[in-house]
Copies of this chain bind each other. A is one copy, B any other.
Amino acid sequence: MSDLPRFVEILEEGPREGFQAEPPGIPVAAKLELIEALAETGLAEINCASFVSRKVMPQMADAEEIAATVHRKEGVRYRGMWLSKNGFLRAANSGLDLMATLSASASDTFLFKNNNRTPEQYLAEQEQMLDLFEAHGLKNGPVYIFTAFGCNYEGAIDPARVVERTAPLLDLLAARGHTPSHVTLCDTIGSATPEAVRRAMGAVRERWPDQPIALHLHDTRGLGLACALAGLEMGASRFDASVGGLGGCPFAGNAAAAGNIATEELVLLCESMGLATGIDLARLVEVVALAERIVGRPLPSRLAKAGLFQPNPARA
């Protein structure tokens, strides 16, 4: 029997992780145009904004305005992101469709360098976030595991450590009656390889056979879609991806970090394997041109550059 999922969920990260990596100054109207065009492609979930410090991340200072003014298409969930209790409270007030998202880092060094927390301290904060989610009626969200494949300080991450750092979070959620929608393994620093994806996913599946797994991949070193293929074959049923490959991760301590895998290339891969995504690929490829106009440069997507394969029998 195949491990392939029947339907692949995609969380579009372009307007959030993508624009977050751009210089400040993209007009709200342009962001809204992109989000609304993405919603017309069949994408069911779009991450619209980060509710983070306006000083540290002026690119996202318009989060409330985006949330308040975006035209909502029925059936589409408009997501938001945050890094702190205060950020969550802003997001909760914004009216976006939030998920009860918790996180852990597979690399303790990365966690300490980026969050100044030990795993125990960070877990305690996650428990406080869970209190807050429950108070706002949110439950059963995803669990994000950062640096699940590699860390820019520690190097390759042992799959056993992914399990070790995921377990306390899943135990906490189980004790509180939550069923996590997904464990999302994140290639935070862009070092994932297909084999690393298989090993990490295999370890998580071995420990929690019924837990759906998602992947947050970057195409930093050209293996992003190969990692997605390996992930699909291991049963990954959800991906974070970014239209055109827009974006990067400014927190990863690596100036060369590339954006997420391109949503349209992921959809092409899924379609070629007979896996449904609900997305109109031709329409999505057209939206890449809009994203490129907004950022004023070509995006990494090769599919968008070449266009869909359209044989022309009339010329034969």
Q: Are B269 and A194 in contact (CB under 8 A)?
A: yes
Chain B residues with CB under 8 A of A190: 306, 309
Range of interface residues on A (Cβ < 8 Å) = 35 or more
Copies per complex? 2
For A266-284 the 0/1 string (1 means CB < 8 A from B) is 0011001110000000000
Q: A222-B303, A226-B228, A306-B221 are in contact. Are A313 and B268 (CB under 8 A)?
A: no
A-B contact pairs, 20 of them (CB 8 A): A151-B311, A152-B311, A152-B315, A153-B312, A153-B315, A155-B311, A189-B309, A194-B229, A194-B272, A194-B273, A195-B272, A195-B274, A220-B302, A221-B265, A222-B262, A222-B303, A223-B269, A223-B272, A229-B229, A229-B230
Q: Are B316 and A109 in contact (CB under 8 A)?
A: yes
Residues of A at the B interface (CB closer than 8 Å) are 109, 113, 150-156, 189-191, 193-196, 219-223, 225-226, 228-230, 253-254, 256-258, 262, 265, 268-269, 272-274, 300-303, 305-309, 311-313, 315-316
Closest beta carbon of chain B to A188's beta carbon, Å: 12
